[in-house]
Amino acid sequence: MKMKVLIVTSSFPNTRNTISGNFILDQINNITAFYDDIEFIVCTPNKTINSIEKKLKVYNFRYFFNKKYEKIGVESITDLIKKNKIYYLIILSYTFCQFFKLLRIMLKDKPDLVYSHWFTPQALTGFFVSKIFKIPFKITIHSSDLKILSYYFGRTGKRIAKVILKSSSGISVTSRSIKESIESVLTKTEIDNLNILQYPMGIDSLSINMANKDLDILKKLEPNSNYIMYLGRLVEKKGLENLILGFSQFSKISDYKLVIAGFGNLENKIKNLVDKLEMNDKIIFTGKVGISEKKTLFELSKILIVPSDSVAGIPVSEGMPVTILEGIYFGKIVIASSHTNCDDVIKDGVNGFVYKSNSSKNIEKILEKVTKLNSEQIDKLTFNALESSKMYDSKGSSEIYYNFLKKC
């Protein structure tokens, strides 16, 4: 009999051409491609198209009377609260609506395991549902979840986190820094009694390999030009303003062009900055990208840059961006900021480069350094990147997460 896993997530792709939450669908695809004794059910607020994967059952739910405010999972909780205090109320409504939707799913589908992605608030709802139905409960913590809970709810938030963590039958974290956030909540003895996996999400290399080239992207970019690519959401914590400022200085001595692939609430602000700097001939915006566009962009780019920054006054940190894993899988030179917490994967100067975050000057310097590498140095970096990517491809990541989920 197949093991039924109920995934609880605030973010999930609504089409194949959506970046948001794609790594969760990738995780499902990777595991089901190699193991036939496990199946997944997904509970997510975002309106999804179930035919993305016909074998996958996806349940959606509404959580606010006005749809324009239903942005949890599309934008980060910290960004939403920063913009409008009404999101304190909306998050509360979201939590209750998700909980009651989970109750209905439990009664109908009778899963064997509740698996929450992100701590706030999915771990909370997953915890209560698992207790009611007396089944195991596991969590993957992606970024600042625990810090956010303590930041907004103080000691009460920390106590809630402690109870949930101790009650879980398994926790996975995508970077060392996230594991350290658990260590700030639990004692060493409590941590030793938990099943904690430190491993990034992995990539769906099977789908990437099968994807066709995207003709629209090929029209926008010239095959023989030098491109540096940013791939991801256009939001504050991604460090795009420093990237553009640093690149604008670097471009004075270089013929490289910068490709910004993705969308988000900072898009207009970033485009205005590009206009102000008169860099429209050097910086290209692609908008939303799906798997075909992504593959084509990686093949055309020489460098991938992941410039995540800390945000003043808010305890936001990155998990391990999947984009970095995709970059090394394609054998690209990966440049990542220290804020990405990528030190489990990227060894500076060996299979990529890491620079100190929150500085446009540091971006300018690292771009100058990387673009001066000779062919022998580039070949060595490419080889090391490809070798290190093997443990994060479909086969490697599916084995890790399959064993994590099956171990109850």
- Digit-coded pLDDT (tens) for 118-166: 998 999 999 999 999 999 999 999 877 777 777 777 888 889 999 999 9
Confidence of residue 328 (pLDDT cuts 50, 70, 90): very high
Closest among 182, 174, 231 to 201, alpha carbons compared: 174
pLDDT for residue 330 is more than 50: yes
Q: What is the pLDDT of residues 258-295, one digit of tens each?
A: 999 998 889 999 999 999 999 999 999 998 887 778 88
Reported as type and span, the H/E element at residue 6 is strand 3-8
Looking at the structure, tell me whether residues 176 and 275 fall in a common domain. Answer: no
pLDDT at 406: 93
Do the strands 113-117 and 137-141 form a parallel or antiparallel pair, or are they unpaired? parallel
Question: pLDDT tens, 196-225?
Answer: 999 999 998 988 887 777 667 777 888 778
Q: Where are the alpha helices (DSSP H) in 251-338?
A: 267-276, 291-300, 322-329
Q: Which residues of 223-261 are buried (b: 16+ CB within 10 A; e: fewer)?
A: eeeebbbbbbbbbbbbbbbbbbbbbbbbbeebebbbbbb
Closest CA to 26 of 47, 2, 70, 56: 56
Looking at the structure, do residues 198 and 253 belong to the same domain, yes or no? no
Is residue 155 domain-shared with residue 257, that is, in the same domain? no
Same domain, residue pair 146 and 251: no
At residue 317, the pLDDT reads 66
Q: Residues 219, 114: one domain?
A: no
Give the pLDDT confidence score for residue 48 in this predicted structure: 61
Strongest mean pLDDT among 188-202, 281-295, 326-340: 326-340
- Residue 243 has a pLDDT of 97
- In terms of domains, do 282 and 324 share one? yes
| Count: domains in the chain | 2
At residue 6, the pLDDT reads 98
pLDDT > 50? residue 109? yes
Residues 219 and 314 in one domain: yes
Contact present, 339 and 310 (Cβ < 8 Å): yes
* One domain, residues 313 and 353: yes
Please indicate, yes or no, whether residues 24 and 155 belong to a single structural domain of this protein. Answer: yes
Look at residue 399 and tell me whether its pLDDT is greater than 90: yes
Residue 212's pLDDT is what? 75
Taking 60 as the threshold, does the pLDDT of residue 16 lie above it? no
Q: Is the pTM of this model over 0.85?
A: yes
CATH of the domain at 81: 3.40.50.2000
Residue 118 is predicted with a pLDDT of 92
| Whether 249 and 189 share a structural domain | no
Dihedrals phi, psi of 41, to nearest 5 degrees:
-125, 140
Say whether both 61 and 125 belong to one domain: yes
Give just the sign of the alpha carbon dihedral 62, 68, 73, 76.
negative
State how far the Cα of 20 lies from the Cα of 233, in Å rounded to an integer: 8
Express each pLDDT in 303-322 by its tens digit: 999 999 877 656 566 778 89
Is there a contact between 4 and 32 (Cβ–Cβ < 8 Å)?
no
Q: C-alpha distances in angstroms, 393 versus 30, 155, 172?
A: 9, 40, 17
Whether residues 228 and 350 share a domain: the answer is yes
Q: What is the pLDDT of residue 176?
A: 86
Q: Which residue has the higher pLDDT, 266 or 20?
A: 266
pLDDT class for 105, splitting at 50, 70, 90? very high
Which residue would you say has higher pLDDT here, 381 or 54? Answer: 381
Give percent of the chain above pLDDT 70. 94
Is the pLDDT at 393 greater than 50? The verdict is: yes
Supply the pLDDT for residue 35.
Answer: 96
Quick check: 17 pLDDT over 90?
A: no
Q: pLDDT band at residue 332, thresholds of 50, 70 and 90?
A: very high
Domain span holding position 370: 206-392
DSSP character at residue 344: T
Taking 90 as the threshold, does the pLDDT of residue 1 lie above it?
Answer: no
Asked if residue 347 has pLDDT above 50, the reply is: yes
pLDDT of residue 51: 42
Tokens of 368: 């100058």
